[in-house]
Amino acid sequence: MANESMPSENRDAPVAARVQCPFCEIVAGRLPAAVVYEDDDVLAFRDIAPRAPVHVLVIPRRHLVSVMDLRDEEALLLARIFSAIREVARREGVAERGFRVVSNAGRDGGQTVGHLHLHVLGGRFMTWPPG
Ligand code: 5GP
Ligand code: ZN
């Protein structure tokens, strides 16, 4: 399922080279997803195996592997991702009560899909620390 081995140099690879990435497939419209927000740079859709009443994944349309793939040049993209997160929180009704934003990176971080994504979790009290 996940393609954690996809090198970050593949970020600008043609679509044909990225067919193994499920989130690129969702961006391309070849894999269905329950989209809750989208703009030119960012897509947000419901997690297929939700861990909370609200569990939305916010991703850049462009393939980046993880937080480790972000460069200073991605500052605007990062701002747009967080702008999308605020909009998702409003649309999902958790903006006032609160929610959690998580991005797992790499093996020890528990990342299972090698396309940068931020989990937006809410609708229940989130315990700390995470497992
Ligand atoms: P990670 O484990 O990498 O932090 O998070 C990956 C998340 O993607 C998991 O919560 C998993 O349930 C979700 N996921 C994996 N494949 C798909 C898919 O094809 N569609 C959707 N909507 N979510 C997926
Ligand atoms: Zn991808």
Residue 99 sits in a domain of what CATH number? Answer: 3.30.428.10
What are 9-28's pLDDT values in tens digits? 455 555 554 568 999 999 99
Q: How far is the CA of 10 from the centre of ligand 2 (A)?
A: 9
Query: Is the residue at 127 inside a domain?
Result: no
User: Hey, which residues are catalytic here?
Assistant: 117
Res 131: pLDDT: 87
Taking the CA of 21 as reference, the closest ligand is 2
Domain-embedded: residue 97? yes
Question: Ligand 1: which residues within 6 Å by Cβ?
Answer: 22, 31, 33, 45-49, 57, 104, 110-113
User: How does residue 106 score in pLDDT terms, banded at 50, 70 and 90?
Assistant: very high
Q: Parallel, antiparallel, or unpaired: how do β-strands 118-122 and 54-60 relate?
A: antiparallel
Is the pLDDT assigned to residue 59 strictly greater than 90? yes
What is d(CA 92, CA 123) in angstroms, rounded to the nearest whole number?
9
Residue 5 in this model has a pLDDT that exceeds 60: no
Instruction: Note whether residue 49 is domain-resident.
Output: yes
- Residue 6 has a pLDDT of 47
Task: Tell me whether residue 51 is in a domain.
Answer: yes
DSSP helix/strand/coil, 128 = coil
In-domain check, residue 131: no
| pLDDT at position 19 | 60
Q: Say how many Å lie between the CA of residue 100 and the centre of ligand 1.
A: 16
Q: What is the pLDDT of residue 14?
A: 52
Distance 4 CA to ligand 1 centre (A): 13
Total domain count, the chain: 1
Per-residue pLDDT of 35-55, as tens digits, reads: 999 999 999 999 999 999 999
Let me know if residue 63 belongs to a domain: yes
User: Ligand 1: which of 21, 47, 107, 116 to mutate, judged by most atoms within 8 Å of the beta carbon?
Assistant: 47
Rounded to two decimals, the pTM is 0.89
Classify the phi-psi angles of 25: left when phi > 0, otherwise alpha if psi is within -120 to 50, otherwise beta: alpha
Q: Domain span at residue 115?
A: 8-122
Nearest atom (ligand 1) to Cα of 31: 19
Residue 128 belongs to a domain: no
